[in-house]
Amino acid sequence: MEADRRIGVAVDFSPSSRNALKWAVDNVVRKGDHLILLTIQPEKMYEGGEMQLWEATGSPFIPSSDFCNPDIMKKYGVKPDPETLDIATTAARQKEVEVLMKIFWGDPREKLCEAIDNIPLSCIIVGNRGLGKLQRVIMGSVSNYVVNHSSCPVTVVKHHD
């Protein structure tokens, strides 16, 4: 990977996404990287304003100081959990990386693949909820879709109870 690496981690603030973020920090991220937390919110009808502007391209990059602020995150309709915030801020401090968040609205599978090309990302790390075959057929697997449609290397971190 190139010198100016942009490492994407899909986060939905679930145990599996926290596991993926921790794995990325422990195994991939190094000094000087940009760690970009990608979160996808459900599509909603917005009456106007900033949300309509960001619907197609996602939010602007949000620095860690802002995504740790509950008032700012409320504006985006996102409620990060304390453990995810702790992993991200600790990584920024100890690994000397810039941690940013970018929020998209819509189908997680499609939006993650769009983010890979639009940011662009050097690689992406996604968590896996451990769905069985039948559940994957019915619900669809985000990680499986990203692996099959991504234009960059993808690492899937399995969730273990």
d(CA 14, CA 17): 5
Summarised one tens digit per residue, pLDDT across range 88-136 is: 999 999 999 999 999 998 899 999 999 999 999 999 999 986 555 554 4
Question: If DSSP codes are grouped into helix, strand and coil, which group holds residue 22?
Answer: helix
Contact by Cβ (8 Å): 105, 42 = yes
* Cβ contacts of 115-118, under 8 Å, gap ≥ 24: 115/8, 115/38, 115/58, 116/8, 116/150, 116/151, 116/152, 117/151, 118/57, 118/58
Question: Which domains occur in the chain, in start order?
Answer: 6-158 (3.40.50.620)
pLDDT over 90 at 2, yes or no: no
Mean pLDDT (the chain, rounded) = 86
* pTM (predicted TM-score): 0.87
d(CA 73, CA 26): 26
d(CA 10, CA 17): 7
The confidence score (pLDDT) of residue 26 equals 96
Summarised one tens digit per residue, pLDDT across range 40-98 is: 988 765 555 555 567 778 899 999 989 889 888 888 888 899 999 999 999 999 999 99
